Amino acid sequence: MSRIMADAPEVVEAETPAEGEVDTKLQTATDVTPPFSGYNELNNQPYSATHFGLEYWKDLTPEMDVNGIKGQVKGIEKFVGNKIKSDRLEDNIDTYKQIIGEIESKLNLKDTDPGDHRVKRVADYIGILSKQQGLSAKMAKFMGMYMGGSNV
């Protein structure tokens, strides 16, 4: 038997696994990080609300949301989820942090900036990026039709 300290101050007795074995019974809820795609369901709020420090998120009613932050967060969540799927990235919080961190870096945003300001700037950037990607796709389709068409 070995003694293992849990998150609480009490000591928990556990059997020591044999050499080379992994003891999965010792995992606690804090040991397991949910995937990005499941964070909202497990925590009753999107990860973006946590990342940007929107402590008022759970109390935010439609009447209070005069700046549309819920829609902006929804757009950020959708963008990151689509990027994870399309680029076949790992579905976890670290991937989210990397994607959003790159955007925040391009926009020269700091962790000390107000969360709602960071959300707005990131959401605006994602909106512009999405429009640009849509135009690029249309241009590629047009060029394909033009270049692949018959020369009459």
Q: Are 118 and 68 in contact (CB under 8 A)?
A: no
Inter-residue contact 1 to 15 (CB < 8 Å): yes
Give the pLDDT confidence score for residue 149 in this predicted structure. Answer: 53
Mean pLDDT, range 29-55, rounded to an integer: 87
pLDDT at 10 over 70: no
Paired residues of 5 in beta bridges: 11
Percent of the chain with pLDDT over 90: 55
At 7 the pLDDT is 45
21 pLDDT band (50/70/90 cuts)? Answer: low
Q: What is the rounded average pLDDT for all residues in the chain?
A: 82
- Listed range (4-18, 19-33, 42-56, 61-75) with the worst mean pLDDT: 4-18
Asked if residues 48 and 34 have their Cβ atoms less than 8 Å apart, the reply is: no
Yes or no: say if 91 and 37 are a contact pair by the CB < 8 Å rule.
Answer: yes
The answer to whether 149 touches 135, Cβ cutoff 8 Å, is no
| For range 14-42, the mean pLDDT | 66
Instruction: Give me the mean pLDDT over the 35-63 stretch.
Output: 93
Q: What is the pLDDT of residue 20?
A: 56
With H, G, I as helix, E, B as strand and everything else as coil, classify residue 129. Answer: helix
